[in-house]
Chains A and B, each alone.
Chain A
Amino acid sequence: DAGVIQSPRHEVTEMGQEVTLRCKPISGHDYLFWYRQTMMRGLELLIYFNNNVPIDDSGMPEDRFSAKMPNASFSTLKIQPSEPRDSAVYFCASRGQGKGETQYFGPGTRLLVL
């Protein structure tokens, strides 16, 4: 299996622009997670899905952030409009059933908002 796939790997954009991050989970995994990592705040869970349904989005910082999972093999995290403080590495992760199952992380998208 190719593992969790994220694109793009790097994104540089200007403040106010829309940013869309993409994730393809491991085939057969029922859960998908979006995390944000910064030096100041560490690793934060933004939102997670079970069987394509958002379960907990309490970590989404504000309405500028939205996430969708239209099918079992694809999810997007959108920031509109983007701000410099959104600069971070965004990780997607997936796992199978059972809360003790291992989460597998993607390589991340390094976002820089100028």
Chain B
Amino acid sequence: AQSVSQHNHHVILSEAASLELGCNYSYGGTVNLFWYVQYPGQHLQLLLKYFSGDPLVKGIKGFEAEFIKSKFSFNLRKPSVQWSDTAEYFCAVAGRRALTFGSGTRLQVQP
């Protein structure tokens, strides 16, 4: 069965700080990996996704993620966060059973 673990449940950063959110997945087959963002009161939006090829994936708003197959990880990074990045971030894996989401990481950026 596929599963996703996000170890950071709540992260608080100051503006301009660097961000790294952890994501580990469990799935035996070929995976497609996603990061979604949910701004307060809004629906989920795609940040970036990995299908194949270059393991370093760049997404919108300066976010990037690196797929490390040996570690079953797909961590999300941003070199300098802004207050507007305050949101909840979900890692997801597309395996046999549609998309499986992690429990989410709530990011709070303080001005």
Residues of A within 8 A of B101 (CB): 42-43, 45
A-B contact pairs, 7 of them (CB 8 A): A43-B90, A45-B98, A45-B99, A56-B97, A99-B94, A100-B51, A106-B43
**A43-65 CB contact bits vs B (8 Å, 1 = yes)?**
10100100000001000000000
- Please list the 6 inter-chain residue pairs (A to B) with the smallest Cβ-Cβ separation, ordered nearest first: A100-B32, A105-B43, A105-B44, A43-B101, A42-B103, A99-B94
* Chain A residues at the B interface, C-beta cutoff of 8 Å: 31, 33, 42-43, 45, 48, 56, 91, 93, 99-100, 102-108
Q: Which of B45, B46, B90, B98 contacts A33 (CB 8 A)?
A: B98
Decide: A100 near B95, CB < 8 A? Known: A43-B90, A108-B43.
no
Across-interface contacts of B94 in A (CB, < 8 A): 99-100
Bound together, the chains give a CA A102 to CA B49 distance in angstroms of 8
Secondary structure dominating the interface of B: strand
Q: What distance in Å separates the Cβ of B87 from its nearest Cβ neighbour in chain A?
A: 14
Q: With CB as the reference atom, state the residue of chain B lying closest to A91.
A: B43
Interface residues of B (CB under 8 A from A): 32, 34, 36, 42-46, 49, 51, 90, 94-95, 97-104
**In the complex the two chains form, is A107's CB within 8 Å of B32's CB?**
no
CB distance from B43 to the nearest CB of A (A): 4
In the bound assembly, the distance between CA atoms of A42 and B106 in angstroms comes to 12
Task: Please give me the residue from chain A that is nearest to B46 by CB atom.
Answer: A102
B102: chain A residues at CB < 8 Å are 42
Residues of A within 8 A of B42 (CB): 107
Instruction: List the B side residues contacting A56 at CB < 8 Å.
Output: 97-98
Interface contacts beyond A31-B98, A102-B46, A107-B42: sample of 8 additional A-B pairs, CB < 8 Å, sorted by A: A42-B103, A45-B98, A45-B100, A99-B32, A99-B98, A100-B51, A103-B99, A105-B36
Contact among B34, B36, B98, B104 for A48, CB-based, below 8 A:
B98
If A91-B43, A105-B43, A105-B44 touch, does A99 touch B95 (CB 8 Å cutoff)? Answer: yes
Q: Which of A31, A103, A108 gathers most chain B CB within 10 Å?
A: A103
